[in-house]
Structure 1
Amino acid sequence: MNQIARALTIAGSDSSGGAGIQADLKTFQELHVFGMSAITAITAQNTLGVQDVLELNPDIVAKQIDSIVTDLGVDAVKTGMLASPEIIETVAAKINEHHLAPFVVDPVMVSTSGHLLLTGDARTSFKKWLLPLATVITPNLHEAEYLADMKITNWEERKQAAQILIDEGAQAVIIKGGHDVGEKAVDLFYDGSNFQSFSAPKTDTKNTHGTGCTFSAAIAAQLAKGDSLPDAIAKAKAFVTAAISHPLSLGKGNGPTNHWAYRQEEKK
C-alpha cells in the first residue's frame, strides 16, 4: 500500500457543504486520508432542501474515475448519489475494470424524511450491477426496506433484511439505526456469518444533514488505511457520533454535522 492512504468518493456535489462530495472529502481529511472525487451530479441545495439537480453525463463520470485511478491510485472507494441507471452501470463497470476495492456503497435512495430519491429502474440497476461489488453497503432503515422490499419494524426483521442483501450479492451490510425510536442509535452489522451491533447515544438535534455520507466516508477512510471492516465501522460510528453531538447550528433548516468534532475530542 502507498504510504499515504488514498480514498475516492463517487457521488453528487452538495453546494451547502454538509453532504455528498464535500462531506466525504472533509471526512477523509480529518481521518488523515488523501481524498479524491468523481462527481455524478451537481445540486443546488441548502439546509432547507434541494432546489435543483443537474445530472452529469456518464462519460465524464467514467473519465474522472479513469483519470484518478491511472495516476494517483486508490486504496478504497465509496459511492453516494448515483442519480440514474446509466451512471450506476457506468460506475459499476469502472469498479470492475480497475478492480477497485474495498468498495463502500452508501445507497442514497431514500431521504431522512422517507422521500424516494431514485426511480424503480435505478433500484433495479443498483441491485443488479452495484450490490454484488460491495464490500459493505450502508443503508438507513428506509433504504433497507426499499432494497429488501419488506417492512422493518423490529430487530429480527432488520436481520432478515440484512440476510436478503447478502443473498443478493453484498459481502457485508450495516443497517443504520439512527431513524429508529429509542435513546440510542443501534446499527446492525452482518457479514453473512455473524451479526454484530454498534451503539451510541442519540443527540437531540436537527443538525444531522450529511450523516450517512460522513459515516460511509469514514468507513472507506479506515479501510484505505488497512483496518478490518468491523474496526473501520467502529471508528466511523465514533466519528459520526462526535460530528452529531457537537452541532454547528448553521442555516435555517437541518444543519450540517461537525466534521472536526472527532479531532477535537481526540485532543482532550
Structure 2
Amino acid sequence: MTTIAYVIAGSEATGGAGLQADLRTFAQLGTYGVGTITCIVSFDPNNGWAHRFVPVDAAVIADQIEAATVTHAPDVVKVGMLGTPTTIETVAEALRSRTWRHVVVDPVLICKGQEPGAALDTDNALREQILPLATVVTPNLFEAATLAGMDDLTTVDDLAEAARRIADQGPQTVIVKGGVGLAGDDAIDVVWNAGEISVLRAPKVGQERVSGAGCVFAAATTAELAKGADVVDAVATAKQFTHGGIVSRLSSSAPFDAVCPRP
C-alpha cells in the first residue's frame, strides 16, 4: 500500500525550500507526496536577492485542500509557510474539519517580503489558530524564542525551557533546532516529547545556515510519521537525513546554498 505524505506550504522558486523541497524529501523517503500551495515566493537577483511574495487566493487554497484530502485521505500533514492571516484562517478551518493522526507545523513566523505590520498579524494568527492544532512543532531558534516568549536562546537548557513552554500551548512534541546558532562543534536539537527531553547532536557543517534545512527536517519527520514511525524515531531519522543533505549541499548562483540530500 502506498503511503501518502501531505504538505500545505509555499512554493519557493529556486527549489531549495518550501513545497519543492518537501515533495522531494517525501519521494526520497519512500512516500507519495501531495501538496497544496499557499503562496509563491521568488527573489529579485537585481536587488540583493530580496524576497518577492504573492499569496494564493484563499478560495483556491481551500479547493486544493478539498481535492487532496478527498482523493487521498491523508492522516499526516506538514504545515509550512502560510503567509497571511486569511490563509491561516483558511488552513486552520480545513484542518479542524478532519481528524489527523499528526499535524507537523514548521512555524514560519516572519514572512519576508511583507510589511512589518502585516508580518506581525500573520505571526499572531499562526500562534492563535495553527499552533493549537499541531501535534509536532519544529521551530528554529528565532521561532522558538518568539513562541516561548523568551530572549535569545544560547544554551541547551534554554532550548529545553523553550520547548517546554511551547508544549504548554498544545503540541505533544516540540523540536527546537539549534543548528549553527549555539556555540560548539555540534548542531544541537532539543526534543520535548510528552514531558521527556532528549538531545540530538550532529557535527556542524560550516557556520552558515543552509536554505531549506528547516523545511527538509519537518518534511522528513512527516514522511516517517506517515509510514508509521513513532515520533522519537521519526525525528531521529529526520535529523540524520537533513544532516546528510547539508553535507551534500547544492551551490548555485544564489548567495545561499541549499540542502541536497542524496538518495
Q: 1:117 to 1:34 in 2, by over 3 A?
A: farther
Residue number in structure 1 paired with 2:13: 15
Give deviations 1:76-130, integer Å, cap 9, x for gaps: 1101111011111211111110223311000112489xxx897222222212211
Paired amino acid for 1:209: S
d(CA) in 2 for partners of 1:234 and 1:117?
Answer: 37
**Is residue 2:7 matched to residue 1:5?**
no
Partner residue of 1:160?
A: 161
Q: How many angstroms does 1:46 deviate by?
A: 7.5
Partner of 1:39: 37
**Unaligned 5+ runs, structure 2:** none
Amino acid across the alignment from 1:189: V
CA contact (8 A) 1:15 1:46 kept: no
Indicate the SS of the match to 2:86: helix
Q: Secondary structure at the match of 2:78?
A: strand
Cα distance change, pair 111–243 in 1 and its aligned pair in 2 (3 A): farther
Q: Describe the superposition over 1:198-257 as per-residue Cα deviations: whole angstroms up to 9, x where unpaired.
A: 111111165711100000000000000000000000100010000001122222411211
Does the CA-based 8 Å contact 2:4-2:226 persist in structure 1?
Answer: yes
Distance 1:119 1:232, change over 3 A: same
Root-mean-square deviation over aligned CA pairs: 2.0
- Give identity over the alignment, percent: 36
Contact 2:109 2:126 in 1 (8 A): no
Higher relative contact order (CA 8 A, sep 6+): 1
Tell me, yes or no, if the aligned pair for 1:104 and 1:134 is still in contact at 8 Å: yes
Q: CA deviation at 1:154?
A: 2.1
CA shift in 2, pair 1:131/1:118, >3 Å: farther
User: How far did residue 194 of structure 1 move?
Assistant: 0.4
Contact map agreement 2:110 2:119 (CA 8 A) in 1: no
| Distance in structure 1 (CA, Å) of the matches to 2:118 and 2:5 | 25
Equivalent residue in structure 1 for 2:193, among 188, 191, 194 = 191
What is residue 266 of structure 1 aligned with on the other side? none
Q: Hey, what's the Cα distance between the residues in 1 that align with 2:111 and 2:256? A: 12
Residues 184 and 117 (structure 1 numbering): CA distance in 2 closer, same or farther, change over 3 Å? farther
**Secondary structure class of the residue paired with 2:54:** strand
1:1-268 to structure 2, matched below 5 A, reads 3-45=1-43, 49-110=49-110, 119-151=119-151, 152-178=153-179, 179-204=181-206, 206=208, 208-259=210-261, 261=262, 263=263
- The answer to whether the 8 Å contact 1:5/1:75 transfers is no
Supply the distance in 1 between the matched residues of 2:192 and 2:106 (Cα, whole angstroms): 16
- Given that 1:207 and 1:257 are in contact with CA atoms closer than 8 Å, whether structure 2 keeps it comes out as no
Cα pair 2:132 2:171 within 8 Å, conserved: yes
2 CA distance for matches of 1:110 and 1:198?
A: 26
TM-score by length of 2: 0.91
Q: CA deviation at 1:4?
A: 0.8
Letter of the 1:187 partner, please give it: D
Name the amino acid aligned to 2:29.
Answer: L
CA distance in 2, matches of 1:249, 1:132: 37
Gaps of 5+ in 1: 264-268
How many positions carry a matched residue from both structures?
256
- How far residue 56 of structure 1 moved from its aligned partner, in angstroms, is 1.1
Check whether the contact 1:45–1:52 (CA below 8 A) recurs between aligned residues: yes
* CA distance 1:248–1:153, shift in 2 (3 Å): closer
